[in-house]
Structure 1
Amino acid sequence: MVQLVTDAADLATKLTDAKEKLVIIDFFAKWCGPCKLMGPFIEELANEYPDVVMLKVDVDECEDAAIEYNIQSMPTFVFLKSKTEVVRFSGANKDKLKENLLKYK
């Protein structure tokens, strides 16, 4: 299941709750075409890999979280293990998303 983050404090709580699990944060915007294309694929991955924590952050609604992670373009995917960033990339690249999920899970 993909969880929607409401603000930076909510994001911090969700990262703490994830403990050692891989966390993938999808920084998106509702008006972003490539973000809309990735949405269903992210849902599929969340269902296929329930041990991975999938979070979505709307950069327009959660500006504080977007600033904290220095998000410049959407979609941007940030991968974390134990609250430490292991990789990030921008763009609607399904193969790269799944490849990194499998590498770090």
Structure 2
Amino acid sequence: MVSAITSNEQFTDAISNGTTLVDFFAEWCGPCKMISPVLDKLEPQYESIKFVKVDIDNLSDIAKKYEITAVPSFVFFKDGEVVDVVRGAAAAQVKQALDKLKA
């Protein structure tokens, strides 16, 4: 199950080392709820990539920093730097980005 980030410190720890997929979501977002089980299925296939979730309503400062204007949005980090972004509940695009990072 994808871990939920609940503080700025947790977020910084999650993205600072290695490769991380951050799922920016909101509880009220229907497409976010639809793609969540897809992420849960993908996570075990990419053991070298951390999967985390950030609720944009609870951590709006982080969402603003990364210019999240629509949810779901997926931001891929490598050692703290943004390397890719996928907007919308596009499972195929998320998988494509994960495959690029895994290679």
Normalising TM by the smaller chain, what interval?
A: over 0.9
Give the unaligned 5+ runs of structure 2: none
Any conservation in 2 of the 1:7–1:64 contact (CA below 8 Å)? no
Q: How does 1:53-64 map to 2 (within 5 A)?
A: 53-64=50-61
- Determine whether 1:52 maps to 2:49: yes
Q: Which residue of 2 aligns with 1:13?
A: 13
1:6 and 1:70 map into 2 onto residues whose CA distance is 19
Give CA-to-partner distance per residue, 1:8-41, whole Å, 9 cap, x none. Answer: 222002223xx2x321100000110110010000
Question: Percent identity among equivalent residues?
Answer: 35
Q: How does 1:1-105 map to 2 (within 5 A)?
A: 1-16=1-16, 19=17, 21-105=18-102
Q: What TM-score does the superposition give when structure 2 sets the normalisation length?
A: 0.92
Give the unaligned 5+ runs of structure 1: none
Q: CA RMSD in A?
A: 1.1
Any conservation in 1 of the 2:19–2:78 contact (CA below 8 Å)? yes
Q: After TM superposition, which residue ranges in structure 1, 4 or more long, deviate above 2 angstroms?
A: none
Q: What TM-score does the superposition give when structure 1 sets the normalisation length?
A: 0.90
SS of residue matched to 1:57: strand
